Amino acid sequence: MTETVLSALTEGVLRLTLNRPEKLNSFNEEMHLALRAGLQRAHDDLGVRAVLLTGSGRGFCAGQDLGDRDPRKGGPAPDLGQTLDAFYNPTLRLIRTLEKPVICAVNGVAAGAGANIAFACDIVLAAKSARFIQAFSKIGLVPDAGGTWSLSRALGEPRAKALAMTAEPLTAEKAADWGLIWKAIDDETLMPEAEALAASLAAGPTLGLGLTKCLIQQAATNSLDAQLDLERDCQRQAGRSADYAEGVTAFLEKRKPEFRGQ
């Protein structure tokens, strides 16, 4: 049977590829569980120092597989809250709490929860041909997978509400101009550029990068006072790391640092 998420670890980069291309990598239960297992491995395995998430074929991810939820089959209305609790929310939490960089290479259309999973990643690169669509309003749902949170934070209420209510596709270039993603890249250079970025982060000071991620995430809800204290605590921890000693030594010796992620 074909694997719904391809997983490969190379020199510290765990590449996770959503792999249901004939359905634009929309989520069925098996793919949910496979992605979660991959992200859990990233948490547990010291050999993983960065994650690269992407999709097979012409799409990144079209959100939930709507064929799995055919209302014509009858029966009671589904409990979609339970679907979020059981599947999407654990995945979102694994991405946000992973103390390692998560790079997302959006290789094609990203719709519904597929778009919002991309926005939860730390650094998002997208092919210029990719589109982001808050498809939920087309089927009577509300944005999920953290979409209301990430859109309103990155864009403010006016753009977040318009994207969510109209489901108008947002081009990769506009998403980058608006600060929703890091970069829009020519289609043919997306993967080489994403791989190079992931490799360079995986060779970086993982502890410091993880602490940086936590700090920036907490800044949104902290007061300046609380954030200054948190920076102090994290800097104390970073300053005791082997990678800090190596970074300074390499600087003084005018050579490239060899970080070990500790």
- Residue ranges in contact with ligand LHQ by CB under 6 A: 23-24, 26, 62-67, 69, 80, 83-84, 109, 111-113, 133, 135-136, 138-139, 141, 144
Residue 85 is given by DSSP the state: I
Nearer of residues 139 and 162 to ligand LHQ, judged by Cβ: 139
Name the residue with the smallest CB distance to ligand LHQ: 63
Please, what is the minimum distance in Å from the beta carbon of residue 116 to ligand LHQ? 8
Tokens of 39: 């992200």
Burial of 150 (0-12, 13-18, 19+ CB in 10 A): buried
For residues 71 and 121, what is the distance between their CA atoms, to the nearest angstrom?
A: 32
Q: In 10 A of CB 100, how many CB atoms?
A: 22
Nearer of residues 63 and 247 to ligand LHQ, judged by Cβ: 63
Nearer of residues 111 and 120 to ligand LHQ, judged by Cβ: 111
Please, what is the minimum distance in Å from the beta carbon of residue 23 to ligand LHQ? 4
Please, what is the minimum distance in Å from the beta carbon of residue 130 to ligand LHQ? 11
User: Are 88 and 116 spatial neighbours (Cβ–Cβ below 8 Å)?
Assistant: no
Q: In 10 A of CB 49, how many CB atoms?
A: 27
CA 152 to each of CA 2, 124, 160: distance values in angstroms, whole numbers, following the listed order: 37, 17, 5
Please, what is the minimum distance in Å from the beta carbon of residue 117 to ligand LHQ? 9
Nearer of residues 69 and 240 to ligand LHQ, judged by Cβ: 69
In sequence order, the 6+-apart residues with CB closer than 8 A to the CB of 185 are 125, 126, 127, 128, 172, 193
Nearer of residues 12 and 147 to ligand LHQ, judged by Cβ: 147
For residues 244 and 32, what is the distance between their CA atoms, to the nearest angstrom?
A: 37
Residues composing the chain: 262
Please, what is the minimum distance in Å from the beta carbon of residue 55 to ligand LHQ? 12
In order, the DSSP letters of 158-171 are: HHHHHHHHH---EE
Please, what is the minimum distance in Å from the beta carbon of residue 158 to ligand LHQ? 23
Nearer of residues 82 and 221 to ligand LHQ, judged by Cβ: 82
